[in-house]
Amino acid sequence: MASLNMQKNLTYVGRGYYIAKGDPRYWHKMLHFKPDDPEAMYYVGLDYESEGKRNYFLYQQTKHSSYLKTYESCLEKALHFTRKASLTGYLRARADAIRIGDELNNLIKIPSIPSITNGSSKSSTSQYLTLTLIIFLASIIIGGGIYYFLIQKNEPFNKQTSVNNNFASMIPYLVKNEKPEDLPEISYRETTIYIDPLRSLPLTDALVNTLKEQYKIDQKTPIKIRALDTGGGTEKGLAVWNGPNSNIKVYIYPDDQIDQMLFESTTVIRSALYQFAKENGYFPPKLEDLTKPLPNNYLSSIPEGPQSPSKPETSFTDGTRGWVYNPGKSIKPSSSELISQIEQVLKPNLKDLKPIPFEPLEIEIDKTTNTLTLKSGDKPLRSYPVALGKNNLTPEGEFNIHKKIANPNKNTPNSVFGTRALELSNEAYSIHGTNDPSSIGQNVSNGCIRLNNPDIEELYSMTPLHTPVKITKNYKKDTSTSLVSSKVQNSYLSKITNPYEEDNSTYYYWNK
């Protein structure tokens, strides 16, 4: 029992290492082991911001410029990590990155001029020389300005001057999640770019990079960049630069559709509730009951949902983020009624949110194209290439996810089943990872369905226990809805191994 309690307070980060959840340097250590983890980037950024605020408080008390410089340095680091997390798609970091950027842009850099006191003669002399030097440098700057305005400014501009185009990379930019309301009525040099969500850079990067390229061509004329999607030509965002001495402003338009990651996360929890209710005849008292140890691990963890929740779970909508969960005392008898009921039982804790429709998740595997598709109703969410059975050994029919196992046969070096497995109701077969990525896309197994390890880890985190699985030939994939690229990570979903989902007492012999 003591060992289990200890494990609850530890996070496994791979290669046999654990981090104590109470460690004040928890997120810094997490980022060391997982440098691409957007959640770790975000919290490390907030740590730097807190450290900066402590130094700013000391500056206000002492007026020592060293504290002000440290404050500025900490804000720069905070902005770096929160912006980097935001650009990976970690939505909760976006507002903080904007706020920290504003704070940094508004920082008043006050030169520290030492005051002359009645101290030692040596100290007074040093302070006097410092003050004299400042006055001397100021006189040079003022003299240069007078020379420019009286002489240079009136000379005809008849020779070509060189411009440091690298200055474009130094123009700060602010990101707003809204449509612009009051753009100045000036003449812009306009450019339109087209965004393919499966192949393009993140929208903010695409807009800013294009604008800076245009800036290198002309450093005086205001610039406007519009972003349209390649599908229907809908305007998705705008970047503007109003001319010299102004910052870049980026506007990311709120989507009329539900945010993709929020839709996915809501659908994952609702699907787990749906399967739990069908299996047990009631809803779990708490959402965390969906994350019990194997074999009752409907989910590895509860997606954290929109932004950083002050309360992960509440019974009423107050806009404090997280989830609103009202399980009630009974479930509806029919599947259609149960689906409608779950739409009311579980909602994101956001005010003025457009209703999120729900259809339970299901997996469809096409033996003709060696493709696995995760769907919500008619909406495909993910599509992965798979390896299937040689000589048509992969069975066709309708199954369900009977068991979820993390790191199957963990103690076997280079396990053929990879890092995750979803055992089917026909227990001779499973959907699992692989130690042979070159086999993906081919018919080489003894009947099991193989995915690349990163793909099975993502599928595992999104797929609840008892999810239906249909294996067929000539499955007609719905091409009317664009799939989300497997490269686009949903930062609400955790793929960190939950040790309670490992089964070290069983050696698995699926038809690999």
Catalytic residue list contains 432: yes
**Second-level CATH architecture of 361-501:** Beta Barrel (2.40)
* All CATH 2.40.440.10 domain ranges in the chain, comma separated: 361-501
Position 195 confidence tier, pLDDT thresholds 50, 70, 90: confident
Distance CA 17, CA 30 (A): 10
Position 508 confidence tier, pLDDT thresholds 50, 70, 90: very high
pLDDT at 424 over 60: yes
- Strand-pairing partners, residue 225, are 191, 239
Task: Collect all residues with Cβ–Cβ distance below 8 Å to 496 and sequence separation of at least 6.
Answer: 11, 12, 13, 300, 301
Over residues 39-57, the pLDDT tens digits come to 899 999 999 988 888 888 8
The active-site residue, picked from 28, 74, 448, 466, is 448
C-alpha distances (whole Å) from 365 to each of 332, 397, 434, 471, 478 are 30, 10, 17, 5, 13
Closest CA to 431 of 443, 448, 414, 410: 448
Over residues 398-419, the pLDDT tens digits come to 999 999 999 999 888 888 999 9
Catalytic residue list contains 448: yes
Distance CA 133, CA 84 (A): 41
Placement of tokens 């479930």 in the chain: 331
Position 268 confidence tier, pLDDT thresholds 50, 70, 90: very high
If you average pLDDT over every residue of the chain, what do you get?
80
In this prediction, residues 124-134 reach a mean pLDDT of 57
Give Rg (Cα) of the chain: 29
Over residues 486-501, the pLDDT tens digits come to 444 555 566 566 788 9
- E strands along 116-252, which residues? 173-176, 189-195, 223-229, 235-241, 248-252
pTM of the model: 0.54
- The answer to whether 458 touches 486, Cβ cutoff 8 Å, is yes
Length, in residues, of the chain: 512
Q: Is the N-terminal amide bond of 295 cis, ω within 30° of 0?
A: yes
pLDDT at 198: 44
The active-site residue, picked from 32, 64, 432, 466, is 432
